[in-house]
Amino acid sequence: DAGVTQSPTHLIKTRGQHVTLRCSPISGHKSVSWYQQVLGQGPQFIFQYYEKEERGRGNFPDRFSARQFPNYSSELNVNALLLGDSALYLCASRTTGGTDTQYFGPGTRLTVL
């Protein structure tokens, strides 16, 4: 079975631009979470979606938004990119919205110039 997949793997943008990152969960997983990992730090929680509804939001500005589609895939959108948005963006899926093990994707490395 395929694991969690993310696209693209790498992305370079300039300040002020918009970016969309995509995540496909493991088949049968209905919960998707997004994390931002700045170089040298642990990941920080951005969003959790379960059954297409937002279940949690981290301490990120409104420039960050996400959604989950009927097939449980998800998009993370970031508007008006700042240099500080440069990071590895990780997606994780799990069966339910509870305390199940989360399975992480390989991440999308975003560089903002």
| 96's tokens | 């339910």
Nearer of residues 62 and 99 to other proteins, judged by Cβ: 99
Identify whether the C-beta of residue 28 lies closer than 8 Å to the C-beta of residue 10.
Answer: no
Residues 66-105 that bind other proteins (CB under 8 A): 88, 90, 92, 97-99, 101-105
Binding mask 2-41 for other proteins (x = CB under 8 A): -------------------------------x-x-x--xx
Strand 108-112 versus strand 10-13 pairing type: parallel
Q: CB 74: neighbour CB atoms within 10 A?
A: 25
Give the residues across from 31 on adjacent strands: 50, 94
87 bridge partner residues = 110
Of residues 44 and 65, the one with the C-beta less far from other proteins = 44
> Which parts of this chain interact with other proteins (CB under 8 A)?
33, 35, 37, 40-45, 48, 55-56, 58, 88, 90, 92, 97-99, 101-107, 109
